[in-house]
Amino acid sequence: MDLSIASKRSVGGRIASNAGVLFVAKAAGALIGLVALITAARYLDRAEFGIVVLLHGYMLFFGEMMTFQPWQTIIRFGSDDVEAGDGASLAKLIKFAVKLDAVSVVLSYLAAVTLFGVFLAAMQAFPDLVDDALPLPPDELYQLAVFYCSVVLFQQIGMSTGVLRLFDRFNGLAAAWMVMPLVRLVGVLIAANQGWGVVGYVVVWYVASLLRYLTVIGLGVYELHARGLLKPVIRAKVSFLGPRDGVWAFSTKAFTDSSLGAGFTHLPLLLVSAVFGPAIGAVFKVAEEVAKLLSEGVKLLDQVIYPELARIIAAGEGRQILRLVTRASLLSIAVGLALAALVYVFGPGAIDRSIGEEYAMTVDLAVLLVLGAAVFAAVAPLYPVFYAVGRPERAIYARLGGIIAYIASFFVLTAWLGPMGIGWASIVGYAVALVLVVALVSRTLAAFSDEAEPE
């Protein structure tokens, strides 16, 4: 078995290189995705387009909220196995992650289709619940949701993501991120040329997501094969209920944290669509994509830093952590603020020319969302500290405080400011999370340093 991580670069060099690769991939993917969205918005009315993005956002919400994200467990415990050269233990850990992926996606799908039916029943019982009427009959919309959410069953990418990140294969992850926007753009161009309706665009979104998940799974399996780990993983005998001391406790806490993270990421679109209807949901989605185009890269540092922090801890060099994450946090918020200014200056003309007056509020919303993302960019490099030192529950406290602040401010500010309150609520939620994270990271590192001091 090959457990080596061949790299002559320093920790800082690996972080900079991997972050650069992911930034380019995410920025390019966001640009292509924005072009696909604008094209779809031109050929569907706002309510129909809102249905497409609502179904996708709803699927992602459950796909990320109810899956255990076992890649975090692979990095946390797999780093120790790699450091010790214990391939058999690593194979058992990966086999457990595969099982956890399979169980969680089935539960996610069942929950998604069940709750969508409850939502439609509530809309039929209380027709004034949403500002705009749905562009499709409830029965047809439910059938679309059942179909679209089935892509969650293929979202078994936690194992592959963990293996690729553990072994510093960020180029593969970057390539996989390009699959969905490229396929979606090609599909949207075909749909526009053929005059497909809303169902055709839903199918395009489905196929793009499906191919992305299959690509990630394939890359992970290939990495295991190349390292001589695939057969040991297949043959490994591991108890699902008792895989290794500490694994379930860590995985459960990581699951709770990732579920709250999904709330921050995908809940806004669902709330906007539920409160204002799919037409305003379409406007919000375009604004979100504009913000993502310019801010997604600065939110990737946590994914790059976590494997490095885990290696630092496994090697007994924890004193490097504070300097590393502070530098990354300051850099992230500086870039985010600069990007918000860029949207403010150049956004209005670009949106007017590409979509038109129907999406006039997009730019103002995008500026607020980028500002919120800038605050989150300062938070993102700090969350991995909790996982690296084995205290994921503290990430839960910070995210929970932030999401409670977001939900409360969403209803207060949208009642006062209308749809623009959505953006301000994002800033409030991330700001609360930032304050909590800084306080908890300071306490965590102080306690970790005390524990690490030789007697």
Note the pLDDT tens digit of each residue in 133-163: 566 777 888 899 999 999 999 998 989 999 9
> Is the model more confident about 184 or about 321?
184
Q: Using CA atoms, how far apart are residues 419 and 425, in angstroms rounded to an integer? A: 10
Among the ranges given (146-160, 303-317, 433-447), the one the predictor scored with the smallest mean pLDDT: 303-317
255: confidence class by pLDDT, cuts 50, 70, 90: confident
57: nearest Cα among 285, 215, 372, 216? 285
Environment class of residue 103 by beta-carbon count within 10 Å: exposed (0-12), middle (13-18) or buried (19+)? middle
Among the ranges given (28-42, 172-186, 321-335), the one the predictor scored with the smallest mean pLDDT: 321-335
Between the ranges 70-79, 133-142, 203-212, 348-357, where is the mean pLDDT highest?
203-212
Q: How far is CA 201 from the centre of its chain?
A: 23
From first CA to last CA, the distance across the chain in angstroms is 38
% pLDDT > 70, the chain: 78
pLDDT digit string, tens, across residues 88-137: 999 999 999 999 999 989 999 999 999 888 877 776 666 655 545 566 77
Q: What angle do CA 120, 121, 125 make, to 5 degrees?
A: 120
- Structural contact between residues 424 and 435, judged by C-beta atoms closer than 8 angstroms: no
Environment class of residue 207 by beta-carbon count within 10 Å: exposed (0-12), middle (13-18) or buried (19+)? middle
Q: Using CA atoms, how far apart are residues 30 and 79, in angstroms rounded to an integer? A: 31
pLDDT above 50 (res 454): no
Q: What pLDDT, on a 0 to 100 scale, did the predictor assign at position 189?
A: 94
- Structural contact between residues 288 and 268, judged by C-beta atoms closer than 8 angstroms: yes
**Mean pLDDT, residues 355-371:** 73
253: nearest Cα among 392, 120, 424? 392
Per-residue CA distances from 56 to 67, 124, 421 (Å): 16, 22, 23
Q: Using CA atoms, how far apart are residues 290 and 303, in angstroms rounded to an integer? A: 22
Tokens 């214990």 belong to residue: 86
Q: What pLDDT, on a 0 to 100 scale, did the predictor assign at position 47?
A: 81
pLDDT above 90 (res 209): yes
Q: What pLDDT, on a 0 to 100 scale, did the predictor assign at position 413?
A: 93
**Mean pLDDT, residues 57-77:** 83
Q: Using CA atoms, how far apart are residues 139 and 30, in angstroms rounded to an integer? A: 33
Sign of CA dihedral 425, 268, 348, 29: positive
12: nearest Cα among 212, 308, 293? 308
| Three-class HEC string of the chain | CCCCCCCCCCHHHHHHHHHHHHHHHHHHHHHHHHHHHHHHHHHCCHHHHHHHHHHHHHHHHHHHHCCCCCHHHHHHHHHHHHHHCCHHHHHHHHHHHHHHHHHHHHHHHHHHHHHHHHHHHHHHHCCCCCCCCCCCCHHHHHHHHHHHHHHHHHCCCHHHHHHHHHCCCHHHHHHHHHHHHHHHHHHHHHHHHHCCCHHHHHHHHHHHHHHHHHHHHHHHHHHHHHCCCHHHHHHCCCCCCCCCCCHHHHHHHHHHHHHHHHHHHHHHHHHHHHHHCHHHHHHHHHHHHHHHHHHHHHHCHHHHHHHHHHHHHHCCCHHHHHHHHHHHHHHHHHHHHHHHHHHHHHHHHHHHHHCCHHHCCHHHHHHHHHHHHHHHHHHCCCHHHHHHCCCHHHHHHHHHHHHHHHHHHHHHHHHHHHHHHHHHHHHHHHHHHHHHHHHHHHHHHHHHHHHHCCC
25: confidence class by pLDDT, cuts 50, 70, 90: confident
Tokens 């061949």 belong to residue: 6
Among the ranges given (150-159, 235-244, 298-307), the one the predictor scored with the smallest mean pLDDT: 298-307
